[in-house]
Structure 1
Amino acid sequence: MEVDPVAARWEAEEKAVRARLTDPDAAPPEQLAGRSGMQVFEAIFAGELPPPPIGDTLDFVPIHMEPGAAIFQGRPQRRHYNPLGTVHGGWFATLLDSAVGCAVHSTLPAGRGYTTLELKVNMLRPLSDRVALVRAEGKVIHAGRQVATAEGRIVGPDGKLYAHATTTCLIFDHPAAVSGGSHAQA
């Protein structure tokens, strides 16, 4: 597999996505309450809702969402390094948690939310800034009424597998939907 054409395609896809995104921020809960998971992602990609700030903090961006699947693209940087001079395991875990969690979120109807109950990450090889881009691909294994599971993997443009993960997520009524979007403090 040739690295350069894949990396060039990934770069172009990221550039096109970033051109549509607004500045990162936490979306107001009342703007999320009436939307399904897919509607939230469609609004993010359309620039109607902001992407979450964690991606800006750790240099990754959503690339593609469809029901039951999510792809994020990340850029390993020196500022993500651990004391051994490679990308910290927390970066792998956060990128994978985003991919598998958003894959689960993409299956949820309006008024439902999720949270990660468990995340298991296996790091197979180190990453450094010599690998310009990686992708985290998340796919739902099971989406039930109260629990969902998903799996994910981080791959480079050359097809190398850097890490894989599984998650269990708790599905719940979204607080903004239950309270009608009100955030009154007691």
Structure 2
Amino acid sequence: MNRISDTEATLARWHEEAAAVRSRRSGIGVARPEQVEGLSGMQVFEAMMAGRLPAPPIGQTLDFELVQVEPGMAVFQGRPGPAHYNPMGTVHGGWFATLLDSAVGCAVHSTLPAGKAYTTLELKINIVRALTERVPLVRAEGRVVHGGSQVATAEGRLVGPDGKLYAHASTTCLVFDARR
């Protein structure tokens, strides 16, 4: 296949995968503490992907969604658009950062046992090319590099359906006992 048809095939696959996730979604919201108590990070994501827990509202606000998760890895898909533009007419760096922070943070979260939580201590992002609505979808893939009992690190990449890299990031997360 040539590059254009490869890109079109990837884009079609991405649309199908996201539609399948949305078809199972139970709504938008925040899970109640009793809904997640006793669940590992991966179990929380499995419940979210199966529609037993709602998708977080930030995805609706910024037009992105979790499309895949497994232990140590999370993939978010986003649609860059004019609502995310800065005064120069390109997607604001904060949108890049939020999408990548979600991917790397959820990659870490997916490895946590029940009773543990995390917070981002540091996020480093490198934007390597501008984004506009001419790129119909992008994916942020986060992968855990180190999962410790107190500190976890992860890396992420933001790519288009043609494989072009738009940004990459790394994070350091603090792991702690969840509050009851």
Can you give the 5+ residue segments of structure 2 that lack an aligned partner in the other structure? none
Deviation, 1:30, is: 2.1
Q: How many residues align?
A: 176
Name which of 161, 166, 173 aligns with 1:169: 173
Q: Residue 84 of structure 1 aligns to which amino acid in structure 2?
A: M
Superposition TM-score, scaled by structure 1 size: 0.93
Alignment of 1:114 onto 2:118: yes
Name which of 120, 125, 130 aligns with 1:126: 130
Alpha-carbon distance in structure 1 between the residues aligned to 2:26 and 2:90? 31
Q: What is the aligned partner in structure 2 of residue 25 from structure 1?
A: 29
Q: Residue 171 of structure 2 aligns to which amino acid in structure 1?
A: T
Q: Residue 57 of structure 1 aligns to which amino acid in structure 2?
A: T
Q: What is the aligned partner in structure 2 of residue 4 from structure 1?
A: 8
Alignment of 1:73 onto 2:99: no
Deviation, 1:73, is: 0.3
Alpha-carbon distance in structure 2 between the residues aligned to 1:172 and 1:29? 16
Alpha-carbon distance in structure 2 between the residues aligned to 1:35 and 1:152? 25
> Following TM superposition, where does structure 1 have runs of at least 4 consecutive aligned residues deviating by more than 3 angstroms?
none
- Listed as ranges, the matches of 1:34-49 within 5 Å are 34-49=38-53
Q: What is the aligned partner in structure 1 of residue 102 from structure 2?
A: 98
Q: Residue 158 of structure 1 aligns to which amino acid in structure 2?
A: D
Give yes or no for contact 1:33–1:174 (8 Å, CA) kept in 2: no
* Post-superposition CA distance 1:105-148 (Å, at most 9, x none): 00000000000000000000000001010000000000000000
Identity percentage of aligned residues: 68
Deviation, 1:51, is: 1.2
Alpha-carbon distance in structure 1 between the residues aligned to 2:55 and 2:119? 17
